[in-house]
Amino acid sequence: MPILPPRAGPRPATSPGIPHAQLDQQPTDPRIHATLAARVFALPGVAERPSGISVPGARALVLDPVLAAGPSDAFLVGREFAHLHPWPDHSLHLCLPERLADAVCRAGWAEWHPFVADGLLPRTVVLVYAPRDEGELRVVARLVEASYHFALGQPGAPADLSQSTPGAPKEESTRP
């Protein structure tokens, strides 16, 4: 299992339904979101497209069809394995292998999509909270890389996700 530090502070508030969105704790520096987008859209074989499942303005990470060898639960829709939500939200949805998704939720970096509790989505779909600073940006970028590898059919996530700021005490997930 990858090394994952706990996220500092309390979880942000999120909407309980659809659209599933982060309501507070967004980054105050707009460069954080821009840097994350630049890093993740530079992954080999990833194209930026409008999301096929999210709100208007959401930017999808769509994998080249030749590379999309992961299982169906590695994708949100089609070959879209993640998407970045637009301002003012800045959170992102992505797919992770179940054990990693569970660890990420337990460490306070994410929560399950509301449809997971209803059995409408697999336990691979999470909302990752918007990074608030450079340290959190490094962890969130590594989570997107783990989602990318899952979509490639290489579910072994990056071994060290701890390229981050020191964390606060671990907070248990309140979602399924």
Q: Please, what sign has the CA dihedral across residues 116, 120, 123, 129?
A: negative
pLDDT reading at 78 higher than 50 = yes
CATH number reported for the structural domain that contains residue 93 in this entry: 3.90.1150.30
Tell me the residue range of the domain where 85 lies. 30-152
Residue 11 falls inside a structural domain: no
C-alpha 50/C-alpha 57 separation (Å) is 7
Tens digits of residue pLDDT in 20-38: 999 999 999 999 999 999 9
Residue 158 falls inside a structural domain: no
Residue 49 falls inside a structural domain: yes
Nearest to 152 by CA among 57, 53, 56, 82: 82
Encoded amino acid at 8, one letter: A
Residue 163 falls inside a structural domain: no
Residue 115 falls inside a structural domain: yes
The SS3 of residue 152 is helix
Q: What's the structural domain count of the chain?
A: 1
How many Cα atoms within 13 Å fall on the side-chain side of residue 68?
17
pTM listed for this prediction? 0.88
Tens digits of residue pLDDT in 111-133: 999 999 899 999 999 999 999 99
When pLDDT is cut at 50, 70 and 90, the band that residue 155 belongs to is confident
